[in-house]
Structure 1
């Protein structure tokens, strides 16, 4: 039974019945409905959050499992990166140094990455976390590219290892003339006085003074790529390509015992000392060229001298005297 409300009317000095207008009733009912709806939404949200449906609970668990799996995958990717960096560092600083191979340039090691078009199928699906998925896929793709570069590097190192004995036999490692008493080294590598111009010029080899007809030997295994006779410059000269970036030159000779295209071996007699070309006395001008750059030949006298003898040769070669020819 509805309660009847009264109010005291001061004018009539009596209690009058409260009359509710239709508008007031509408406002009251609307307010009640709004409050009920608000509380309903609030309690529904709490219920859904803490008491989800079986399907929603399954989806939430699946999403949590996927996020956990992604974290584990990212951890493995990071660990793989660290391992690969260690392999690259060991490759450049140990293996390639041992076999005298140039380090692989950084831009090649990075190998580049594919563009986003590579994952266009995923982009078309407009996945909710496609940024996370694409980032991981891109990292894995880049790892695969860098690993491919590393495997090719190891293939090269294996080839170098298999050819190590050939390389050791090919590298110039003895003096080109018999010099047991160490008295034949006449002029060393560096700035020396030109025998004809009488001014200092770069002397790109070592001069061994010796009588005409003294035997000249190949300092390493290789193939003759030049056997030229001339009355100027180097005169009669021979060049031997030893492979692995090494070439040796023998100049001012008087006789050849080999010809262009012929294979030679370390210690093999290839000619005789002379005084042809720009020469002031019988001698052998000997050069070592590594990767197209002329280097000091004395660095390579390792097979036929002791440590004390090598020190003596270094001292003789350091004297800035006049060369016997250019």
Structure 2
């Protein structure tokens, strides 16, 4: 029931009922309904900020899932970068040092990511900073992996070459230790038995019976197999890498010029040919055409005790056999 309103009439000194016009009543009703709708609309707008549609919920879950994957990806990138950094350190300080290769600088490993903004196309998104960072991290890692891969290819090539070099360097006795009568003369000044003067002896003399086998001390190619006035029947082997060996005073040459020989291959037999006073093998090692002390190259088949005994014998005074 609507409230009845009154007003005071001063002329009659009494209260009179206020008559409500029908038009006013409709206006109030309309304004009331409009106010109700406006309040409902505003309430919906405010409330909708806190209540999402199923599609919005799905998008939010997907975004949160992407952020989680981004964090996991970033962590894996950091772990991969750490492993790669350790490999790079070993590469520079161990592998490349061992094979006498220059280390790769950080500038070379990380070059190509400065200057022009190559990630500008990723700007303008809600998560542009995040996307740009992970993209750049992946690019840097990929570049470093390419550089490291090429470095390891080079190391493999150097290792193969090193293996070939190690097989070529003269590293064994040219006559088996069990076949030796004695080590007669070493790399030093000696009294020449025929010329009767002091002369530097550029090699080592191994006394052994005539016909004792002589072996190549390293892989190489026979470049001379001939008879000379001084060395008698002699074989020269070029081992590559600047190394050459000479085997003189043979009774018989088995190798021929142009033969490819391997360490331990039979190339001839001990004799007493040329300028020699007893059956023995005169053996020399040269590096870049400079004669070296052969005793420093017997690490391939001598024990420390045998090496010490041979070194002591080589230092004994006396004359050479050639």
In which range does the TM-score fall when normalised by the shorter chain? 0.5 to 0.7
Aligned-residue offset at 1:318: 0.8
Write the mapping of 1:271-286 to structure 2, written as runs, cut at 5 A. Answer: 271-286=268-283
1:234 aligns with 2:225: no
SS at match of 1:312: helix
1:265 aligns with 2:276: no
Root-mean-square deviation (CA, aligned residues, Å) is: 3.0
Which residue of the partner structure matches residue 185 of structure 1?
183
User: Which of 243, 246, 249 matches 1:246?
Assistant: 243
Q: In structure 2, do the counterparts of structure 1 residues 198 and 267 end up closer, same or farther at CA, with 3 Å as the change threshold?
A: same
User: Which of 142, 165, 188 matches 2:163?
Assistant: 165
Write the mapping of 1:25-44 to structure 2, written as runs, cut at 5 A. Answer: none
- 5+ residue gaps, structure 2: 1-88, 103-150
- What's the TM-score, normalizing by structure 2? 0.53
Q: In structure 2, do the counterparts of structure 1 residues 162 and 283 end up closer, same or farther at CA, with 3 Å as the change threshold?
A: same
> 1:114-146 CA deviation, whole Å, 9 max, x = no partner?
xxxxxxxxxxxxxxxxxxxxxxxxxxxxxxxxx
1:288 aligns with 2:320: no
1:304 aligns with 2:282: no
> 1:195-233 CA deviation, whole Å, 9 max, x = no partner?
112221110000001111111011111110110112x11
Aligned-residue offset at 1:182: 6.1
Aligned-residue offset at 1:161: 2.2
Q: In structure 2, do the counterparts of structure 1 residues 183 and 214 end up closer, same or farther at CA, with 3 Å as the change threshold?
A: closer
CA–CA distance in 1 between the matches of 2:237 and 2:278? Answer: 24
CA–CA distance in 1 between the matches of 2:193 and 2:267? Answer: 26
- What's the TM-score, normalizing by structure 1? 0.52
Whether the 8 Å CA contact 1:184–1:208 is kept in 2: the answer is: yes
CA–CA distance in 2 between the matches of 1:233 and 1:96? Answer: 45
Whether the 8 Å CA contact 2:169–2:239 is kept in 1: the answer is: yes
CA–CA distance in 1 between the matches of 2:96 and 2:192? Answer: 40
Whether the 8 Å CA contact 2:217–2:264 is kept in 1: the answer is: yes
Write the mapping of 1:1-326 to structure 2, written as runs, cut at 5 A. Answer: 98-99=98-99, 159-180=157-178, 183-230=181-228, 232-325=229-322
Whether the 8 Å CA contact 1:182–1:313 is kept in 2: the answer is: no
- 5+ residue gaps, structure 1: 1-86, 105-152
CA–CA distance in 1 between the matches of 2:97 and 2:317? Answer: 33
SS at match of 1:229: strand
Whether the 8 Å CA contact 1:182–1:309 is kept in 2: the answer is: no
